[in-house]
Amino acid sequence: MLSSPEYIEKLRKSGLRPTRQRIKICEVLFDTDKTFHFTISDLAQMIENKANVKISLATIYNTIHSFEKKGYLKEIAVNSSQTYFDTNTTHHHHFYDEGNKELFDINNSEIDRIKINKDIPGKKIKSVEVLVKVENK
């Protein structure tokens, strides 16, 4: 939970110019104790609701991708027509409800550590993601 001057600092430190648009997106994404999941269109909607500024879709895409590159966001591997992002960048996993397309965190205490007894020559593991699909009982 940071204030504008702190986002400005954070952006500058990452080598990103603190533009009006980037600061607004920071506020929408990070001005809360709770982390959350979103798609680009969710975010566009949130900005439209919350903000008095209008940010073009292209800028939203650009910003989200640079935030992801800087490690402020994580992309979640959900097989769907839309890409999901997570403001929780710690190592954790997800429940996915295909019905209402909702994601829920599974944090590390709620799942056993995953050990993989196989490797591919010349490759190293970059990430391990578990997606638990759920449906109505």
Partner DNA sequence: TATCTACTTTATAAGTATTCTAAAGTAGTA
Partner DNA sequence: TACTACTTTAGAATACTTATAAAGTAGATA
Residues that bind its own copies (CB under 8 A): 75-79, 83-84, 95, 97-98, 104, 106, 109-112, 114-118, 120, 122-137
* Residue 48 contacts which entry, its own copies, DNA, none (Cβ below 5-8 A, type-dependent): none
Is 36 strand, coil or helix?
Answer: coil
Reading across the β-sheet that carries 74-76, which strands appear in turn?
Answer: 37-39, 84-86, 74-76
Partner from its own copies, DNA, none binding residue 122, C-beta < 5-8 Å depending on class: its own copies
Backbone angles phi, psi at 13, to 5 degrees: -60, -30
Rounded CA gap, 23 and 2, in Å?
11
Nearest approach, Cβ of 110 to DNA (angstroms)? 28
Is 95 a binding residue for DNA by CB under 7 A? The answer is: no
Backbone phi, psi, residue 82, to 5°: -120, 150
Residues making contact with DNA (CB under 7 A): 12, 15-22, 39-41, 53-59, 61-63, 65, 81-83
